[in-house]
Structure 1
Amino acid sequence: MKNLYGILRLIMLLFILSSCEKESTSIFDEDEVKEENPISELPIPTENLIFNADETRNYMVNPNSTAETIALFYNLKLLSQNRFIVGQQDAFSSFYKGNIGESDMKKITGSDPGLLGSDFMFITDDLNDGTQSNWYFQQEIQIRTDVIRAFDLGLVNIFCWHMREPFEGEYFYSSEITQFQKENALKSILPGGENHEYYKQKLAKIGSFAKSLVGSNGLLAPIIFRPFHEFDGDWFWWGASYCTNEEYIQLWRFTVSYLKNTLSVNNMLFAFSPDNNFLSESEYLLRYPGDEFVDILGMDNYGDFNNQGQPGIQRANQKLKIVSNLAKERIKIASLTETGYYTSVSENNPIPYFYTNSLYKAITLNDVNIGFTMFWNNNKDSYCVPVPGLSSADDFIEFISKPEVILADDLPEMYQLPPNT
């Protein structure tokens, strides 16, 4: 049925595009653009993987992962060879101009995104007391509902964590906390630190939540967890200005080990996702905790797409090439874990052909291979994914009609390994 939906959606998109005549201004030379083939001409080359499906667990952080989590790793790695999933943060709960209902991506494409982004922030908040009348607990219930819905639909789920700093438990942006908190927050949650037990309680909350994600089929929904993201900037209290490389690595290793070994969370993949402040493999790996602690190599990148023109797109492509190469060498999954351009009513105008002439080429040129990318959320004032009637709508429709792009209706079965393995 999914294949039928995908074919119908493709026919619809081709009809829309054929009725819209416009000239596209490319920022790359025409001979750099990949030849576009129909989706049916992009078979997934299983023979190029260096491991068989039944060997997958040997290449994962947690070899005791559930069967569905193992299948997710394998299928993401498989897809990343020539296609990528497109997702959005809070797609089922946050909408442009507050127009609730279907996801904004479905409003414009006819399909939900292939990946749903969520956040552990409210779930682990100090004010979440677990009672039905508590606003934070209500958010937890909504997030669980959305994640299970996504799993039931066959989507991929990914979580970040805007953890509040541990002394006061109020803010995660470094601009909103004291100098003392900046200098001591991360150190305090390491083993032996004054807030270490507090941190373990937060991890226990994440662990119990992960174990509660039971789909309608009775199986645990796998999730991707990317803790302490964008650590190479200084806007979060876990940023590079507020801890050493060694301290960050120690925190990452403890976090993964505690979830995996102590709490026995077996439905989780772990994603490493700095921002775009690197130009070489060595810079990317400065705070890398080691292959045994990471399943997915990612990058968040907004800056290179923020009206930077051709130089910015080329930089984004070069950085994705670094991530892609490392993922191939280390048998990980490469990804563009967060991206987008915020367009708002009052401030930012759309960038012409942003999706097809900027983002698409940054992701696909120079043999870059990623498993997924994710736009940040839409809200009442701004959007990363346009809705019908906006000036960038046609460009987005053309982007998602590219043969490499996968939304929900085109997703293969992500939670089963191929038969006879």
Structure 2
Amino acid sequence: MMQAFDTTGRVRIPRRIRRPLLAALALCMMVAALAFPSAANAAPPVNPSATDNAKAVLNYLYSVSGNHILSGQHNYTEDPAGWSAQAASVTGKAPAVWGNDFAWDDYATSRQGVVDEAINQWQQGSLVTLSWHQQKPNDPANAGWGSVQGWYTEQEMTDLVTPGTTLYNQWLTKVDEIAGYLQQLKNANVPVLWRPYHENNASWFWWGGRPALFKQLWMNMYDRFTNYHHLDNLIWVWSAASNNDWAEPLADYYPGNAYVDVLGQDVYDGFQQAYYNELVTVANGKPIALTENGKMPDASTLVNQPLYTYFLIWGDHLYSENSASEIQGTYNDSHVITRDEVSIPPLPGNGEVDIDDTATGTGINKYTYSGSWSTSAGAAKFGGSDHYSATTNDYYQVSFNGTKVKLYGSKDAHHGIAAVSIDGGAETNVDFYAVSRADNTLLWTSPTLAAGNHTLKVRVTGSKNAASTWTVITADRVSVTAATQTTINDATTGTGQNQFEYVGGWSASTGSAVKYNGDDHYSGNTNDYYQVRFNGTRIELYGTKDVHHGIAAVSVDGGAETNVDFYASSRIDNTLVWSSPTLAAGNHIVKVRVTGSKNAASTWTVVTADRAVVTS
């Protein structure tokens, strides 16, 4: 009997069985004859406007299928990374896939924390998957878990998927709320394995148990998120329950290849070969995944069911269904990829990353507005809106990391001239005038820049050409040609490229989930050192700072040493300690030496190594 669980670990008992399970699916072909996914025959994302990062992640899943499986761990909404940290604690390795849930409205105040942690996990090297246990859209905010497992009559469900009805509009309001969180992830360039309305081939959630109505619900969400909100960072993951006595055949509920990138199933009653074969058949060459499971897949499962691209242990099932040795056995299996082993090849082409004008703030990939800028909506505008001002010397600026930036905005008959500059350099006049309106259009491209951080500034000059009727300047998006960044874990040891080479009495320290992949290296012995060989234009060093830490001497390519202080009044793990200047493209070596000295407040001379990030 299948058991599935909510975000508190409670058993979900199906509220009704609509009809007996259909006869078992007869597989009339050998598994070896099926169309298997591979990098060579990878299908493009179902969203033709998918971001480069979304395309890259999907391509990566195709490349993993049949060769490896990504380790994954679900976390609860109110504790966004707690169970991933537990997995890292017992194995010494962080999961390759981090999962969480927007949950029902009782958890609305926790959703921002989920978004913030998703950004952090992606930046740390994990893939991100998100689900949504949506409560019935017309229920009060405090309806809770019972609403998620509620039910609609056939007519009510028909109304909910029919545009213009009261129920549809209530559904739309809730969907648009979640779109706002997903937009933040798009703005942060985070691709999301988006898994809504899971276990749809069963009747314990209000959206399940009725094939045609469920498929319409799925297509409605796809249309709203893709064509209205332009959430191009989403990889669409359709996830069924394993076809047992509580569920129905997967094919009946599959929305179709035009709406699904990855197919998954939630398995809590053993990794039966029939479940796997059925999913492979429906997927017909698309990647598949264990989108929820309680038990760790063992070595036999990994060999006999090789096309799964990732598994996702559900929260506290990590411990309730697995011993420490079982968890360690799976994580150490040669088929299993952990976060330190994730390597997503860059896409062919320019690797451009879009930054929306609504991504406001003062950090990297953010728009900072000065003056009286206003917003204007429009379906053809990037993300559905842009900003504008006609006030002389109003300006906006965008900080970014890359080698080139393209400026996009709206041109029109009442638009004027902007002055554009990079890093405070000379201004270039750019005319936003056009005889007829052109939204989200290329206005200016920078020259090739040195890899690294830069700031684009666009200033309203208050001038216009003779044909224009006003001096408006717009902001819609910038497209950055991003430098590729590679993270090197301190536990990757050796004397070759992208490895940490330790000389002297360095020790490994485990036990902190905040450390990159759960551990770092340290030494307090004078003239012990580590070095990292890399190919790129910049390197950043991360380590732990603490009250007993001292001073290191850092050099590149045997040049002059720079002192770097690892002291902090309270412990800070996995923090940036030093960045190189921009280097000539090519091979380099960074060396970090324990000086044996410290500042007056420190109690010892420890220097640490946690990870290095190379820009190329």
SS of the residue 2:224 aligns to: helix
SS of the residue 2:307 aligns to: coil
Aligned residue in 2 for 1:398: 329
The C-alpha deviation readout for 1:243-295, integer Å capped at 9, x for no partner, is x321111111111111111111100011111101269xx93210111100000
The residue identity in structure 2 corresponding to 1:220 is N
Aligned residue in 2 for 1:246: 212
2-structure distance, mates of 1:191, 1:391: 44
2-structure distance, mates of 1:75, 1:102: 21
Aligned residue in 2 for 1:371: 309
Conserved in 2, the CA contact under 8 Å of 1:118 and 1:160?
yes
SS of the residue 1:70 aligns to: helix
2-structure distance, mates of 1:88, 1:75: 19
Aligned residue in 2 for 1:115: 97
SS of the residue 1:371 aligns to: strand
The runs of 5 or more residues in structure 1 that have no matched partner are 1-45, 128-134, 306-312, 342-354, 379-383
- Answering whether residue 157 of structure 2 is matched by residue 191 of structure 1, we say no
Q: Radius of gyration: which is bigger?
A: 2
The residue identity in structure 2 corresponding to 1:103 is A
SS of the residue 1:291 aligns to: coil
Identical counterparts, % of pairs: 22
Conserved in 2, the CA contact under 8 Å of 1:87 and 1:375?
yes
Tell me how far 1:136 sits from its aligned partner.
3.0
Q: 2:195 aligns with which of 226, 229, 235?
A: 226
Aligned residue in 1 for 2:279: 323
Tell me how far 1:116 sits from its aligned partner.
1.0
Aligned residue in 2 for 1:42: none
Aligned residue in 1 for 2:226: 260
1-structure distance, mates of 2:77, 2:252: 35
Question: When the two structures are aligned, how many residues end up with a matched partner?
Answer: 311
The residue identity in structure 2 corresponding to 1:105 is A
- Answering whether residue 133 of structure 2 is matched by residue 162 of structure 1, we say yes
The residue identity in structure 2 corresponding to 1:251 is L
* TM-score for both structures, normalised by structure 1: 0.66
1-structure distance, mates of 2:112, 2:291: 25
The correspondence of residues 18-417 of structure 1 with structure 2, limited to 5 A, is: 49-51=39-41, 59-90=44-75, 94=79, 103-122=85-104, 125=105, 136-137=108-109, 139-169=110-140, 170-173=143-146, 177=150, 181=152, 183=154, 186-192=157-163, 193-213=165-185, 219-240=188-209, 244-277=210-243, 283-302=249-268, 304-305=269-270, 313=271, 316-327=272-283, 329=284, 331-341=285-295, 355=296, 359-365=298-304, 368-378=306-316, 384-386=317-319, 392-413=323-344, 416-417=346-347
> Greater relative contact order (Cα 8 A, min sep 6): structure 1 or 2?
1
2-structure distance, mates of 1:270, 1:175: 21
The C-alpha deviation readout for 1:342-381, integer Å capped at 9, x for no partner, is xxxxxxxxxxxxx4xx64423430x531111100012xxx
Conserved in 2, the CA contact under 8 Å of 1:167 and 1:185?
no
* TM-score for both structures, normalised by structure 2: 0.46
1-structure distance, mates of 2:322, 2:148: 35
Aligned residue in 2 for 1:32: none
Alignment CA distance shift 1:250-1:113 (3 Å): same
1-structure distance, mates of 2:322, 2:290: 25
Greater helix fraction, Structure 1 or Structure 2: 1
Greater strand fraction, Structure 1 or Structure 2: 2
2-structure distance, mates of 1:221, 1:79: 20
Alignment CA distance shift 1:173-1:80 (3 Å): farther
Aligned residue in 1 for 2:465: none
Tell me how far 1:196 sits from its aligned partner.
0.7
